[in-house]
Structure 1
Amino acid sequence: MNSRISINALTQPLVTQLLKDAEKLHLIVEKPHCTIIDAGINAIGGIQAGLRIAEICLGGLGHVNLSNSGQGTWSWQIQVNTSNPVLACLGSQYAGWSLSHEKFYALGSGAGRILAQKEPLFNELGLTDNATNTTLVLEVDKIPPQEIIDKIVQDCHLPSAEALTLILTPTRSLAGCVQIVARVLEVAMHKVHTLHFPLERVIDGMGSAPLPPPAKDFVTAMGRTNDAILFGGQVQLFVTGDDSDAKQLAEQLPSSASRDYGRPFAEIFKDYKYDFFQIDPLLFSPAKVTITALESGRSFHAGQIDLQGLAKSFGE
């Protein structure tokens, strides 16, 4: 799916506005070399900042908001929708760029990934961009070392570090919780890709998941944000093609189709001795899905919300 849309161009106005509103959003902006926006390390950050950052992660191609579902104790939820789910979710929001130096490690999300072209996905989808400035969102609790900044500048072919903005969102922070839970649709799209369903047939999409309380440590926070999607996430995708394909996708997509489903994510992670890659990759998906076949107008449903699982994970 070749696209002439520049997610870097679409993202830049959102980043500019985030910088203008930094003080009222409880963000700290530093410019040692590149521009660094602290959304929860030394800054307070917050829910509104998280909503803005989530839309930046989506490459300016999606909307993210907060609503009340009225369902269960944890009824405040993050809602996401985009009419470009492949480009917005996989081309931008997906945390697919691995960045490490000595004891620093992070996965990069956002428009910078398409400039670096470090993932086979971009060649597969035929996605490119030639922007001269960019933004990456990192889920970290420390400022990246200069070596990481230099690597990003070089790999993205930027003229200088001044053309780079890094947004830092620790998992334990409110902003971090929001921007991670806002990946509910992206998680579904990634599993669609893993299941080898043709991505060009996914025309539109929307999703929601409950907003968990932040946690005092990384593992608990990671567990809660994952469980928000695995136990409480809902996604609807609109696809072209035969009803039989839509029905099969619906049956395969929910998190309950995984062998590892059923316990809080933090417990699963611990049992695998904190080796993320030992976890069944098919676990990472929303709890409940609806696949709507556009030609016939029929919808196929699978999975269910697990309120008890949410309560256990969120500390009730």
Structure 2
Amino acid sequence: MDDLSRPTRPSVSTLTEPLVENLIARAPQLRLAVTRSAAGARIVDAGITARGGIEAGRLIAEICLGGLGAVDIVPAARFKRWGTLIGVRTADPVTACLASQYAGWSLAEGEFFALGSGPGRALHAKEELFGELGYRDQASSAVLVLEVDRFPPEVLVERIAAGCGVAPDRLTLILTPTMSLAGTVQVVARVLEVALHKAHALHFPLERIVDGLASAPLPPPAPDFITAMGRTNDASLYGGDVHLFVEGPEEEAAALAAGLPSSTSRDYGRAFGEIFTAYNGDFYAMDPMLFSPARVTVTALSTGRSFTHGAFDEAVIDRSFA
């Protein structure tokens, strides 16, 4: 993918640094708690002991996108009961979604486990995906977002800093429990990312994806992790809408549109929580092709024709959210 490895590609960590500083500066108003680890890393609590909120989640989602995208919260009439959408847009969807936002860095220490997302992944760049993207970032500061409900152990914090190649006091970790308002927003804001990830799984040439827009309904938060995980996934699976603009032959754009929606999965049709229970909580036994938006439009830039597949399922959304 020569186009993806061109030297002019942006530094997601550098672009994100002012966004992180803005989040820290507004912490009291956003109901966030900011502390320092023993080694000096900044820990931003966005929903564990601090309350956090929807606006905090929106800003954290933009941090996850590496400073290359915008996240909006807007009213919409897509569903009768759930009238708020989270909108995502980026002019560099492959870098923003796959090199930054995707939760691909596995972090474990004792009983603690989390998947790291955000710009710090591109500094570490040990995932196989980065070899395919031909991208590795360089910066003097790092930020990772962890979807967890407890604080990471000190030894892991120091290992993350070392993996990013920065001093511990130049590392920021943002903690967003799925059950929290901020966590709910930042997970649903991955609706474009799930489409990019499935396009990659379908072996569509990523360098042909030029632009992207997406939206999904904002679910209410839940009192437990399983319900929260179900609602945030269902927002994309049954309520997500994605529009990709791609280069290349028109017939390949049409094939991508046909293959992307969640309805192509064998597990489609039940709420995520129901599917998870049916597999006895074995996440990896589920069909990986399920993780995709409900409806997808792909526009072939060579001809201007657009192809739409999939549909929203309001009944499943109602059952999940309510």
Report the TM-score when normalising by structure 2.
0.96
CA RMSD of aligned residues (A): 0.7
Q: Which moved more, 1:126-135 or 1:285-294?
A: 126-135
* Alignment-derived partner of residue 305 in structure 1: 312
The CA deviation at 1:283 is: 0.2
Alignment of 1:150-229 (within 5 A): 150-158=158-166, 160-229=167-236
The reply to whether residue 147 of structure 1 matches residue 162 of structure 2 is no
Q: Aligned partners of 2:246, 2:306: CA distance in 1, in Å?
A: 10
* Aligned pair partner of 1:113 in 111, 121, 126: 121
* Alignment-derived partner of residue 255 in structure 1: 262
Partner SS, residue 85 of structure 2:
strand
The CA deviation at 1:274 is: 1.1
Give the aligned residue type for 2:34. Answer: V
* Alignment-derived partner of residue 19 in structure 1: 24
* Alignment-derived partner of residue 265 in structure 1: 272
* Alignment-derived partner of residue 8 in structure 1: 13
Partner SS, residue 152 of structure 2:
coil
Q: Aligned partners of 2:78, 2:273: CA distance in 1, in Å?
A: 24
* Alignment-derived partner of residue 70 in structure 2: 63
The reply to whether residue 79 of structure 1 matches residue 84 of structure 2 is no
* Alignment-derived partner of residue 139 in structure 2: 131
The CA deviation at 1:305 is: 0.6
Q: Aligned partners of 2:121, 2:48: CA distance in 1, in Å?
A: 23
Q: Aligned partners of 2:277, 2:100: CA distance in 1, in Å?
A: 30
The CA deviation at 1:102 is: 1.1
Q: Aligned partners of 1:118, 1:221: CA distance in 2, in Å?
A: 30
Partner SS, residue 57 of structure 2:
helix
Q: Which runs of 4+ in 1 moved over 3 A?
A: none
The superposition leaves residues 38-64 of structure 1 with CA deviations (integer Å, 9 ceiling, x where unpaired) of 000001100000000000000000000
Q: Aligned partners of 1:185, 1:26: CA distance in 2, in Å?
A: 27
Partner SS, residue 24 of structure 1:
helix
Give the aligned residue type for 2:297. Answer: T
Q: Aligned partners of 1:297, 1:16: CA distance in 2, in Å?
A: 41
Q: Aligned partners of 1:174, 1:198: CA distance in 2, in Å?
A: 35
Q: Aligned partners of 1:146, 1:31: CA distance in 2, in Å?
A: 11
* Aligned pair partner of 1:30 in 18, 24, 35: 35
Q: Aligned partners of 1:41, 1:205: CA distance in 2, in Å?
A: 32
Give the aligned residue type for 1:29. Answer: V
Partner SS, residue 27 of structure 2:
coil
The CA deviation at 1:168 is: 0.3
* Aligned pair partner of 1:97 in 94, 105, 110: 105
Q: Aligned partners of 1:240, 1:107: CA distance in 2, in Å?
A: 32
Give the aligned residue type for 1:229. Answer: S
The superposition leaves residues 3-35 of structure 1 with CA deviations (integer Å, 9 ceiling, x where unpaired) of 531000000000000000000000000012200
Unaligned runs of 5+ in 1: none
* Alignment-derived partner of residue 234 in structure 1: 241
The superposition leaves residues 55-107 of structure 1 with CA deviations (integer Å, 9 ceiling, x where unpaired) of 00000000001011112211201000001000000000000000011110100
The reply to whether residue 44 of structure 1 matches residue 47 of structure 2 is no
The CA deviation at 1:119 is: 0.4
Q: Aligned partners of 1:63, 1:2: CA distance in 2, in Å?
A: 24
